[in-house]
Amino acid sequence: QSDGAYGLGRSALAEEIAAWDVDVLPDGRGLPEGSGDAFDGEEVFADKCASCHGDFAEGVDNWPVLAGGFDTLADKDPVKTVGSYWPYLSTVWDYIHRSMPFGEAGTLTADETYAIVAYILYSNDLVEDDFVLSHENFAAFDMHNKGGFVVDDRPELEYASWRAEPCMSDCKGEVKVTMRSVFLVETPEVGTVS
């Protein structure tokens, strides 16, 4: 069936591609038709998300915090949330629709996903509570940290100077231990199965 070099495999049918190819690009390509507002989103979120992520997307226990943390990225302990860190709204929609809720992935409808995303934006104080998110206004929404990323620049900043013959002797004066691990955290004891 294939025209390829080995003639292996068969043509993928349109229904099959539609079932599996559900990724959404930053420009909004891949979004299905639909819409949802923050009001509806609050309801769905309370039902399907809040047990781990909290009523206000603030996170429960160790589960991820989805809201807040604005302007903390340069702090000692940055709070990286959808609002403070994520560059594209497409990723929020795509990831929730495909892989959430944890343990019941793939069960959200398009409208539910729009509503949840609208609610997360609301939780991040990025929209009003009557905000309606749809496939039509989606691409126009700019995230707070959209400009916060640079493409890997190790080649210029690091490799250029770190590709050099290293010191072999008298490389520094006295050496002191400045930090010891055993005072800080619990490492499972050797020999126990955890």
Residues 68-97 within binding reach of another protein (CB under 8 A) = 73-74, 76-78, 80, 82, 85-88, 90-91, 94-95
Q: Does 176 bind another protein (CB under 8 A)?
A: yes
DSSP state of 166: P
Count of alpha carbons within 13 angstroms of residue 164, beta-carbon side = 7
- Counting contacts by CB under 8 A, is residue 190 touching another protein? yes
Matching residue, tokens 């959430």? 100
Neighbours of 47 (CB within 10 A): 11
Q: How many residues does the chain have?
A: 194
CA dihedral sign, ordered 60, 64, 65, 66: negative
Applying the rule CB under 8 A, the residues between 17 and 46 that interact with another protein are: 17, 20-21, 23-27
> Residue 178 — φ and ψ, nearest 5°?
-105, -20
15 near another protein (CB under 8 A): no
- Supply the minimum distance, in Å, between the C-beta of residue 130 and another protein: 27
Q: How far is the CB of 17 from another protein (least distance, A)?
A: 5
Binding-site member from 3, 15, 140, 156 for another protein (CB under 8 A): 3
Euclidean distance between CA atoms 171 and 186, whole angstroms: 34
Q: Is 88 exposed, middle or buried (0-12, 13-18, 19+ CB in 10 A)?
A: buried
Nearest alpha carbon to residue 41 among 109, 126, 120: 120
Distance of CA 9 to the CA centre of its chain: 34
Residues 46-65, interacting with another protein (CB under 8 A): 52, 61-64
User: Which residue of 15, 140, 156, 174 would you call a contact of another protein, by CB under 8 A?
Assistant: 174
The count of residues interacting with another protein (CB under 8 A) is 84
| Min dist. Cβ of residue 160 to another protein (A) | 10
Q: Which of 15, 140, 153, 156 binds another protein (CB under 8 A)?
A: 153
Is position 156 an interface residue for another protein (rule: CB under 8 A)? no
Which of 15, 140, 156, 177 touches another protein (CB under 8 A)?
Answer: 177
- Tell me whether residue 128 or residue 158 sits nearer to another protein (CB atom): 158
